[in-house]
Amino acid sequence: MFFSTKAIEQACRQDAWLGALATYFGVFKADFGSGPFDGSIESREIGIFRGLRIRNPLTRKAQQLSPEANRGVREQYSIVLQVSGHSQIEQAGRTVTMFPGNITIIDLALPSAFSCALRSSTFVVHIPKQLLDNRGVCWQSHVAKPCSVSTASLLQSLIFASFEQPLALGPSQSRATSDAIIDLFIAGYLDECDAANAVDPSRASPALLKSIQAYIINHLHDDTLSPAAIAKSHYISERQLHRLFEPSGLSVCRWIRQARLDRCAMELRDSARKDRTITEIAFGQGFNDSAHFSRAFRDEFNQTPREYRALAARARLPAREHRAA
């Protein structure tokens, strides 16, 4: 996608520009100063990310309005690379001055402000927060801080080449390009100890494990649920996924099976589901073999599903009716 103010009347250009920015960054107000205005935004895919090239003239200051107005973009971080000119970015009480080759990160859910001069040009890469937060790094402590010069140079080359010479990449190539951007970016901020922690999800925040467990619970009905599918949905490797579950003493597959059995047991106890057959309940939670389900249920609860349901039904009866039965 390409947006330019050239075809717009000068009196309307600033409003049109802010409207175009809002698509990618949320709502801003700006002081453009005096003189004519002209700007452009070019949008392309970089791996699995959204890349932007932004060219605009002198802007005294563009200030983000309440983050609540930015709900469409607040779940993203932005890697910002200065290509030409210079700019300043303010966020979280910090100010970073950007010269050509400099890179920083901003959180689109936090208030921020920008100013630029000398007809600056900037590359921006939007990355879903989940991809960076899964690395166990508190990025709020890094926003509006410069990336190391050596890493910035490598990252600039990768982003520039991906943007300037877009190729029809397959899923694996897109994934590899995106992984390279993330790994280079993290390496630019963290020392060796921090980097080791960042790329090892088993040392990451417990929030990642909770997120994965919630994902499993919400997909128990899917008979294709597997470690491979779970790892892919959370942008980690299967090996890293298995390491996350090691402290619990349960493998990923065992955790999935136990969650499915617990959900089936809950439904067997539910009087509102008494008209559903045991097979329907089992298949509804991702089992695809009734005999296998019965064996697994008996191993877990020391009762067959039929016995378990009958006992639950008797427990719900009033005392007098219970004796009569």
In a structure prediction context, what are the per-residue pLDDT tens digits for the chain, which is 325 residues long? 789 888 898 889 888 988 888 888 888 888 877 777 888 899 888 878 888 998 875 566 777 665 555 566 778 899 998 888 888 888 888 888 888 888 889 998 888 888 886 578 888 999 988 888 776 667 777 888 877 666 777 787 888 887 776 566 677 777 888 888 888 888 776 643 344 444 444 444 566 778 788 889 988 988 888 998 888 777 677 887 888 888 878 899 999 999 999 999 999 998 888 889 999 999 999 998 999 999 999 998 899 999 999 988 887 655 444 333 3
Residues 169 and 293 in one domain: no
Whether residue 108 is found in the same domain as residue 171: yes
Predicted local distance difference test score (pLDDT) of residue 278 = 93
pLDDT at residue 35 in the model: 74
314: tokens are 């008797």
- Picking from 199, 228, 248, the residue at the C-terminal end of a domain is 199
Provide the CATH number for the domain around residue 298. 1.10.10.60
Q: What is the pLDDT of residue 201?
A: 45
Q: How many whole angstroms separate alpha carbon 239 and alpha carbon 251?
A: 11
260 shares a domain with 222 = yes
Global confidence as pTM: 0.57
Residue that is last in its domain, among 199, 224, 240: 199
Q: Is residue 194 part of a domain?
A: yes
**Same domain, residue pair 165 and 222:** no
| The last residue of a domain, from among 147, 182, 199 | 199
For residue 142, being part of any structural domain is answered with yes
Checking phi first, is residue 47 left (phi over 0); if not, alpha (psi -120 to 50) or beta? left
- Judge if 167 and 229 occupy the same domain: no
Please provide the DSSP assignment of 124-138 as one string: EEEEEHHHHHTTT--
Which residues have CB under 8 Å from 199's CB, separation 6+? 135, 183, 186
Q: Do 193 and 217 have their domain in common?
A: no
Are residues 129 and 175 located together in one domain of the fold?
A: yes
Residues 299 and 165 placed together within one structural domain of the fold: no
98 in a structural domain: yes
* φ/ψ of residue 275, rounded to 5: -85, -10
d(CA 177, CA 290): 44
Split into its structural domains, the chain has a count of: 2
Are residues 135 and 6 part of one domain? yes
Whether residue 142 sits in one domain with residue 26: yes
> In the chain, at which residue ranges do the beta strands (DSSP E only) sit?
2-4, 28-31, 40-46, 49-55, 59-64, 76-91, 94-98, 103-107, 112-128
* Domain shared by 240 and 310, yes or no: yes
Residue 238's pLDDT is 82
Across-strand partners of 126? 50, 78
The residue range of the domain holding 257 is 203-319
